[in-house]
């Protein structure tokens, strides 16, 4: 077994009395796409910052490429490409100047960076914006530039903190496509997200975090298998009747979740259950049979929705 690229044991970060990250263990293997899934405030970004050697743990151990970030911060950061949650591009510079100077921060030669810029502008689909100021870019373009910038040093690990938050659906899909391509080249991705679809799309393996702790770990499919059923039936009876009908539905299915606006029923065969409900003359105003998702896993693990 090769040593994992990142390995954390009992990792804890406290800010005063508040415990942001609470004794978590995880490993990330080379070439893997690893996700930290959880709501805002779950401790994902703090974990990211500790990995990125820009925040110091309070206790526990962490090694990145076999090294302790507290001893070898600059050496570890030389292996990483960091895409922060909020873009911090250099607004005084153009697109290509942003790439250039970031490479210079790593000490790379001008010649190397100039060649690299062409490759990165192609990758980020920003060739025609190369001389534009950063402010002139759309949100999706800024994100792609931030990712391109993180790649200028040819990192082994790309750290993406909420990469598509705030982007429109089209921009998200372009970005996912770019990240897929990166993954194919062997770059290890570490991604935080509170979007289930994103985690399912991008992550080979993920940990579900809540309140600083890891609730579960596995591939998206494994997690769904372990913590949910194959299908989910969503029914709505209107906010008044939901309460009235719930006890009857509970009899029909081993697990149901009552949400404010709808009832989720966890079964292997959603259509069959819906027929049974209709047979009881409990006509829901709307119904939907869908595959289980990580959202359901999270609901099961924490009793709460991811996005509130």
Partner 1 sequence: MKSAVEIAEERANRWGHQLYAGRARAILERAFIALRSSTWVPIATGFIEPVLYLLAFGYGMGELIGNVDSGRGTVDYAVFIAPGLLATSAMNGAIYDSTWNVFFKLNESKLYKGMLATPLGPLDVALGEITWALLRGLSYAIAFLAITAPLGLVPGISAILAIPAAVFIAFGFASFGMAITSYFKTYQQMGMINIVLLPMFLFSGSLYPISVYPDWLEFLIQLFPSWHGIELVRDLWFGYWDAGTLMHLGYFCVMIVSGLYFTTRRLRNLFMR
Closer to partner 1 by Cβ: residue 91 or 238:
91
**CA–CA separation, 205 vs 296, rounded Å?**
17
- CB closer to partner 1, 154 vs 275: 154
Compute the least distance from the CB of residue 300 to partner 1, in Å.
36
Q: Yes or no: say if 132 and 104 are a contact pair by the CB < 8 Å rule.
A: no
Contacts with partner 1 in 237-276 (CB under 8 A)? none
Using the minimum distance from each CB to partner 1, give the nearer residue, 157 or 206: 157
Query: Least distance in Å: CB of 140 to partner 1?
Result: 19
CA atoms 287, 293, 295, 296: torsion sign: positive
CB closer to partner 1 out of 97 and 204: 97
Closest distance to partner 1 from the beta carbon of 76 (Å): 8
| Nearer to partner 1 (CB atom), residue 111 or residue 281 | 111
Segment interacting with partner 1 (CB under 8 A) among 122-130, 152-160, 208-216, 240-248: 152-160
| Least gap, CB of 11 to partner 1 (angstroms) | 16
Please, which residue, 110 or 291, has the CB nearer to partner 1?
110
In the complex, what is the shortest distance from the CB of residue 84 to partner 1, in angstroms, rounded to a whole number? 7
CB 49 within 8 A of CB 57: no
* Number of chain positions touching partner 1 (CB under 8 A): 39
User: Judged by CB under 8 A, which of 19, 23, 55, 165 binds partner 1?
Assistant: 55
Tokens of 276: 């049974």
**Any contact of residue 185 with partner 1 (CB under 8 A)?**
no
Rank residues 150 and 203 by Cβ distance to partner 1 and give the closer one.
150
Rg (CA), the chain: 22
Q: How far apart are CA 227 and CA 221, in angstroms?
A: 10
- Residue count (the chain): 308
The interface with partner 1 within residues 154-173 (CB under 8 A) comprises 154-155
- In the window 56-115, what residues touch partner 1 (CB under 8 A)? 56, 72-75, 77-80, 82, 84, 86, 88-94, 97, 100-102, 104-109, 111-112
Kindly report the three-state secondary structure assignment for every residue of the chain.
Answer: CCCCCEEEEEEEEEECCEEEEEEEEEEECCCCEEEEECCCCCCHHHHHHHHCCCCCCCEEEEEECCECHHHHHHHHHCCEEEECCCCCCCCCCEHHHHHHHHHHHCCCCHHHHHHHHHHHHHHCCCHHHCCCEHHHCCHHHHHHHHHHHHCCCCCCEEEEECCCCCCCHHHHHHHHHHHHHHHHCCCEEEEEECCHHHHHHHCCEEEEEECCEEEEEECHHHHHHHHCCCEEEEEECCHHHHHHHHHHHHHHCCEEEECCCCEEEEECCHHHHHHHHHHCCCCCCEEEEEECCHHHHHHHHHCCCCCC
Task: Give the shortest CB-85-to-partner 1 separation in angstroms.
Answer: 11
Least distance CB 80 / partner 1 (angstroms): 8
Beta carbon nearer to partner 1, 48 or 214? 48
**Which residues contribute to the site for partner 1 (CB under 8 A)?**
52-56, 72-75, 77-80, 82, 84, 86, 88-94, 97, 100-102, 104-109, 111-112, 133, 153-155
């Amino acid at each position: 077994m090769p040593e994992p690229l990142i390995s954390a044991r009992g990792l804890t970060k406290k800010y005063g009395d508040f415990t942001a990250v609470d004794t978590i263990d995880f490993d990330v293997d080379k070439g893997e796409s690893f996700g930290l899934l959880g709501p805002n405030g779950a401790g994902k970004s703090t974990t990211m910052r500790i990995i990125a050697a820009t925040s110091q743990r309070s206790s526990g151990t962490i090694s990145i490429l076999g090294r302790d970030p507290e001893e070898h911060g600059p050496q570890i950061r030389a292996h990483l490409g960091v895409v922060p949650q909020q873009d911090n591009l250099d607004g005084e510079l153009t697109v290509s100047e942003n790439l250039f100077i970031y490479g210079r921060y790593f000490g790379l030669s001008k010649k190397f960076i100039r060649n690299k810029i062409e490759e990165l502008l192609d990758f980020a689909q920003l060739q025609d914006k190369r001389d534009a100021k950063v402010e002139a870019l759309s949100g999706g373009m800024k994100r792609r530039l931030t990712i391109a910038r993180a790649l200028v040093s040819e990192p082994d690990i790309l750290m993406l903190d909420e990469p598509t938050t705030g982007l429109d659906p089209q921009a998200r899909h372009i970005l996912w496509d770019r990240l897929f391509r990166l993954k194919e080249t062997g770059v290890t991705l570490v991604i935080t997200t509170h979007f289930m679809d994103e985690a399912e799309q991008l992550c080979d393996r993920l940990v579900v975090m809540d309140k600083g702790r890891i609730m579960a770990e596995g591939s998206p499919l494994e997690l769904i298998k372990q913590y949910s059923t194959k299908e989910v039936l969503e029914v709505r009876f209107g906010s008044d009747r939901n309460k009235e009908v719930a006890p009857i539905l509970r009899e029909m299915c081993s697990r149901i979740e009552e949400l404010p606006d709808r009832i989720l029923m966890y079964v292997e065969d959603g259509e069959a259950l819906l027929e049974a409900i209709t047979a009881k003359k409990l006509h829901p105003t709307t119904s939907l049979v869908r595959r289980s998702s990580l959202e359901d896993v999270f609901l099961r693990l924490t009793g709460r929705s991811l996005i509130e």
